Amino acid sequence: MPVNLNAPDSAALFAVPGVEIGCAMAGVRKAMRRDLTVFTLAQGSAVAGVFTSNRFCAAPVQLCRAHLGSDAAPRAILINTGNANAGTGQDGLDRARATCEALAALLGCSPAQVLPFSTGVIMESLPADRIIAGLPAALADCAPNHWAQAAEAIMTTDTLPKAASRQVQIGGRKVTITGISKGAGMIRPNMATMLGFVATDAVVAPALLHALVTHAADESFNRITIDGDTSTNDSFVLVATQQAGHAPITQFDTGDGALLRDAVVAVARQLAQAIVRDGEGATKFITVRIDGGRDEAECKQVAYAIAHSPLVKTAFFASDPNLGRILAAVGYAGIADLDQTTIDLFLDDVHVALHGGRHPGYREEDGQRVMKQSEITVRVDLHRGPASSTVWTCDLSYDYVKINADYRS
């Protein structure tokens, strides 16, 4: 049951000039569902991406990195659900390459101009033949307004499709940013993977685009966690079709550059938070904010210790203000010189712990009131510096175990 998340309204997803999307039923794992998605990108488009840090990264991730690192200008994105093509060795690379070659032949471009993505079961052989057979139907389906359909076609065990869209004015021109994502768990084990695709018609030099996608990931997908597992296939790509007709963006710090940056971050953040809201078994959406750290890295370290703790997460599920668990997680986050006597803990507006001990004015019923909400902010003040950081997570419920224990059977 997703937390305050609705299926996207197709009419509110603006088309991005230069991008067309088509889907088809290829029977990758199940019959009669759209499991194959192709994005075609207008000539002159630039693409940048960030990928999983998992050393067991999947074949399509390896290939996608190589294609983006080559001189070839990307012309298409090819996504299948149902099979992650991970843990598949050389054979997996060969099969991913074969799908890129087939799409390139249909489009009249080189295979390096196709970026492949896969999500689904790990350690099973990719049915490249069925994917290749489905490509003509996907191309025939291509249209600018198929974002909602694609959001559904890339789902694995997500319970709802995830999409977001914005428009901003840059140099008197309307610029569109639209994206889709899928997730469910940070790794969706069998059905692995967080994927995010965002496209804009903004005019941005390819070199700058990489800085923008990295910044947007740091402010969105890199701040969420369901269960701490990192998928073999996690990928987030940003396409800029360069068709909006404004003067090229040359930096992201001020003016039009900052405007575009903020809009891309907003779309990426909405897509990332939607993944948490639809987290496996999630019943609550938790914001963990750490203030008063020496630097952002240590704030993030503490935030993730809290966000990953199964004990903290089960307490949220139970609406139990068992807040010693949060202090304990702060304590083992790995900050060697942490002084427990400077630490404050807040649950929304309730001041729970002062100087590392129970706040004298704290009443259990106040904690209880906040814990019953479906959206909760945990704030810890370390009082040792000026830095802050925020991450988003969900609770750990019976259903998390049920989903992950039962999934394959």
Kindly list the catalytic residues: 193
189 forms part of the interface with a copy of itself (CB under 8 A): yes
Per CB under 8 A, the list member of 149, 190, 273, 393 interacting with a copy of itself is: 190
**Distances in whole angstroms, Cα of residue 79 to Cα of each of 28, 115, 133, 149, 208:** 11, 8, 14, 13, 25
Binding track over 91-130 against a copy of itself, x by CB under 8 A: xx----------------------------xxxxx-----
338 forms part of the interface with a copy of itself (CB under 8 A): yes
Mark out the alpha helices in 287-397 (DSSP H runs). Answer: 296-308, 310-317, 324-331, 364-371
What is the smallest separation between the CB atom of 383 and a copy of itself, expressed in angstroms? 14
386 forms part of the interface with a copy of itself (CB under 8 A): no
User: Tokens in use for 304?
Assistant: 């993730």
254 vs 341 by CB, closer to a copy of itself:
341
341 forms part of the interface with a copy of itself (CB under 8 A): yes
Of 200-239, binders to a copy of itself (CB under 8 A) are 227-232
Of 71-90, binders to a copy of itself (CB under 8 A) are 84, 86-90
Of 22-51, binders to a copy of itself (CB under 8 A) are none
Of 349-368, binders to a copy of itself (CB under 8 A) are 353, 355-358
CA distance 184 to 233: 13
Tell me, by CB under 8 A, how many residues bind a copy of itself: 74
311 forms part of the interface with a copy of itself (CB under 8 A): yes
Per CB under 8 A, the list member of 29, 95, 325, 379 interacting with a copy of itself is: 325
Map residue 209 onto helix, strand or coil. helix
Percent helix, strand, coil in the chain, to 5, is 35, 25, 40
What is the smallest separation between the CB atom of 351 and a copy of itself, expressed in angstroms? 13
CA distance 357 to 381: 13
CA distance 260 to 41: 20
Give residue 307's region: left, alpha or beta (phi > 0; psi -120 to 50). Answer: alpha
243 forms part of the interface with a copy of itself (CB under 8 A): no
318 forms part of the interface with a copy of itself (CB under 8 A): yes
245 forms part of the interface with a copy of itself (CB under 8 A): no
What is the smallest separation between the CB atom of 312 and a copy of itself, expressed in angstroms? 8
CA distance 214 to 51: 10
CA distance 191 to 123: 11
120 vs 179 by CB, closer to a copy of itself:
120
What is the smallest separation between the CB atom of 364 and a copy of itself, expressed in angstroms? 10
Of 123-182, binders to a copy of itself (CB under 8 A) are 123-125
Handedness of CA 51, 56, 59, 62 (dihedral sign): positive
Ordered DSSP codes for 96-151: HHHHHHHHHHHHTS-GGGEEEEEEEESSS---HHHHHHHHHHHHHT-BTT-HHHHH
Sheet of 162-170: strand order equals: 46-51, 235-240, 195-200, 173-182, 162-170
223 vs 269 by CB, closer to a copy of itself:
223
What is the smallest separation between the CB atom of 95 and a copy of itself, expressed in angstroms? 12
284 forms part of the interface with a copy of itself (CB under 8 A): no
210 vs 358 by CB, closer to a copy of itself:
358
Residue 408: which of 123, 228, 189, 233 has the closest Cα?
189
CA distance 354 to 12: 46
Residue 95: which of 64, 132, 122 has the closest Cα?
132
What is the smallest separation between the CB atom of 147 and a copy of itself, expressed in angstroms? 29
What is the smallest separation between the CB atom of 345 and a copy of itself, expressed in angstroms? 9
